[in-house]
């Protein structure tokens, strides 16, 4: 939950489909923030879990560990 993967994939989206900004931080920072009351229920806070390459289908964690799918 709240994990995002970066990718070089691009899409064109109509500006009307954007609902709000979000904040993406590293996993450690995310865990520090969510320990406090202020960030526990935030729906706009995410952490970078890794990288996805759509051309190869390769998924790699932020620590550089490949994930086999």
pLDDT by 10-residue block (mean), the chain, 69 residues: 93 91 94 83 90 94 88
pLDDT of residue 14: 94
d(CA 20, CA 50): 23
Report CA-CA distances (Å) from 21 to 5, 18, 45, 46, 67.
Answer: 17, 8, 10, 11, 29
- Predicted TM-score (pTM) of the model is 0.78
């Amino acid at each position: 939950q709240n994990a995002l993967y970066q990718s070089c994939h691009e899409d064109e989206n109509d500006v009307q489909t954007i609902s709000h900004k979000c904040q993406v931080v590293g996993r450690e920072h995310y865990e520090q923030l969510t320990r406090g009351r202020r960030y526990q229920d935030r729906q706009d806070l995410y952490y970078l879990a890794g990288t996805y390459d759509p051309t190869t289908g390769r998924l790699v964690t932020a620590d550089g560990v490949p994930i086999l799918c």
